[in-house]
A and B are shown apart, each in its own frame.
Chain A
């Protein structure tokens, strides 16, 4: 579903509700977007992608539109490789273990023809005590084009972005943000539901430690969806209501009439006995099973950013539900979204 189908409706409703200036603004805006499309430019003009917070609906839509085109491209069997980023160097700098996100970025870079290098923590000099700033200086000297960074500390990616010359993509920083995950979730939903605004999205699980939750809360608020968080009080950060969410402590009320449920991973090693008494207890109240699913809309989607703990936060059968589970699709959208982000950021550098 492309948003161009949406925009005439938006314009009409605006026209009906209010006066001409807004109509003209919407018209000019639409016109501007078309120009951008013709000239192969994106409305997303930032140098880095560090967070969802601070982005506008138009910027997010334009990222999703571009990603949408790559979904089709990636499904072609014959030749998946493009050479849009031929000669560019993309480096995955991961200070935290990751297989899925790193592979996804690596694949996205390679599909666009870039040279992709992985720098995992185990072999990097951070473990030898090098500071983040020194790492930035070292990387600068290598003339990279895009740096994908994952770091266990919130704000570390922002700090690094201030010190390097290349474009930086936040691949997850501490408990702050994971913007590409939110974008891929949004793309998955938009393709299934045709829209984002007006949907009810329930995010369930360890909100306290989740950067995925923060990015998604931001994104869905920006796009006009309603966000609910469902978790025991111990797994909710203070002041979360100020981010524009409804708080629920009961799956039955939290999921009632919702369009989407996003289950978050429960890290057993960190959780048990501290934030929750046991996995058994957690699953009985907050684990997703068919009984709890029944109160949602019939066509509701089930999502999970992975990796899943089957039987911890989600019942195995629910995770594999052919009709409603889009967990596999999320992974597919991940590559497309990352291709779009890489391409747009490299283009923005050229300008």
Chain B
């Protein structure tokens, strides 16, 4: 149950980072209750603060707006055996994620006002990461009839998508885009032409041929994107392409952006830090949708991020239970967890010299928040005190948490050495995760 935030808290001696305004410098931040009162470079000497203010000495660590993840799968309602809302929220706060948007592929599907409200209520009761929901674009994610987008938006849905399924029918897509435009809503697409991807379990190419697995060609992505972008031109609606994984998909998007169409896209850490070789030896934990692509595509995604062609990085958190993964590759379920590693793997972009720390953070804070118009991902006087305190350089190794639980915590990043550790996550002024407290707990 959410506890009310305690009084005034001053975070001092921090390295303040706000990607939205480009702020990067030593300073402090003062929160009162749930809101940010003031922040700035060189602010706050302990003696200058009002009576009764609690002081958090950041010791030079980075203080940034909490991360915003606009693509994750919630397994409740319906698939509690894969992960509970509580479990997802814990993973999120450990990873510094303070707001996240879930896909509508729950059971029942989020195509009804009641389900939107259910998710909102569960999130409020747990009182950790703020959860927003996408509404289904079509009823039951069937890709046939439009869902009640207007009512769903009124109930709080922030965008519309068929989740892990593409909206395949061109006419349905055209109508979904037109209808969404009526209300100024965004359609989010999983760009994969289903007839080309049918039966495919990994990227098409040499590795798939060697392993004897059916491949999904890279053009499955660009073909559906090309069609959609033409429909966007026709309807003028806002369109967002999720988890772009190929060079040709990015090229298609680049042309649309050059034309000035209202389109945006995101990618997940998997697609710029791993390639199809992770699947060798039939490793089902590297079975993802879209599949991990070849090295050339990975580099293109990286370049897309550097050039600003890709607007956001999402976790694409898709937990699966062990039974769905411990199967022959073609029968195993797709997806892996990603919330806890979102920050650390994103920071690889900074550590490897591809971009500045602020630019990397922008992709997981203000970038995604702006796309959906969420009031998050930036430091704002009077705004919610959703913060993450982290050290960008601390090294650690991603370890699968398999503490006797049937629910899988395995990710394609297991055993990967990464840099960047979350020390503290603050949501609405309350510290919901603290690395030092977690360390004490585990002792």
- Chain A residues close to B by CB (< 8 Å): 53, 131-133, 151, 153-156, 158-159, 173-177, 211, 214, 237-240, 242-243
Contacts and interface: CB of A to CB of B under 8 A. Distances in A.
Nearest to A215: B212
A242 B210 CA distance: 9
B326 interface: yes
Interface pairs A-B: 5 shortest CB-CB: A176-B212, A239-B206, A155-B282, A153-B328, A156-B328
Contact of A158 (B205, B209, B215, B282): B282
A243 B206 contact: yes
A155 B206 contact: no
| Dominant secondary structure of chain A at its interface with chain B | mixed
A131 B327 contact: yes
Given A133-B326, A238-B205, A239-B206, A155 B217 contact: no
A210 to B, nearest CB: 9
Given A131-B327, A239-B206, A242-B206, 20 more contacts: A133-B326, A153-B329, A154-B212, A154-B213, A155-B329, A158-B282, A159-B282, A159-B326, A174-B212, A174-B213, A174-B330, A176-B212, A176-B213, A177-B212, A214-B209, A237-B209, A238-B206, A239-B205, A239-B209, A242-B209
A333 to B, nearest CB: 24
A237 B202 CA distance: 13
B212 A239 contact: no
Given A133-B326, A153-B328, A153-B331, A238 B282 contact: no
Contact of A238 (B204, B326, B328): B204
A237 B330 CA distance: 17
A177 B211 CA distance: 8
Contacts of B330: 153-155, 174
A214 B212 contact: yes
A239 to B, nearest CB: 3
Interface of B: 204-215, 217, 281-282, 323, 326-331
B212 A158 contact: no
Nearest to A237: B209
A154 B282 contact: yes
Contacts of B204: 238-239
A30 to B, nearest CB: 32
B209 A238 contact: yes
A154 B200 CA distance: 13
Best-buried of B212, B327, B330 by chain A (most CB within 10 Å): B212
Given A151-B328, A158-B282, A238 B212 contact: no
A153 B328 CA distance: 6
Contacts of B217: 238
Contacts of A132: 327-328
Contacts of B208: 237-239
Contacts of A243: 206, 209-210
A188 to B, nearest CB: 23
B26 to A, nearest CB: 52
Best-buried of A131, A214, A237 by chain B (most CB within 10 Å): A237
Contacts of B207: 239
A76 B429 CA distance: 87
A92 B281 CA distance: 24
15 contacts: A132-B327, A153-B328, A154-B329, A159-B282, A159-B326, A159-B327, A175-B212, A175-B214, A176-B212, A238-B204, A238-B206, A239-B204, A239-B205, A239-B206, A239-B208
Contacts of A175: 212-214
A156 B208 CA distance: 15
Contacts of B211: 154-155, 176
A251 B330 CA distance: 34
A242 B207 CA distance: 9
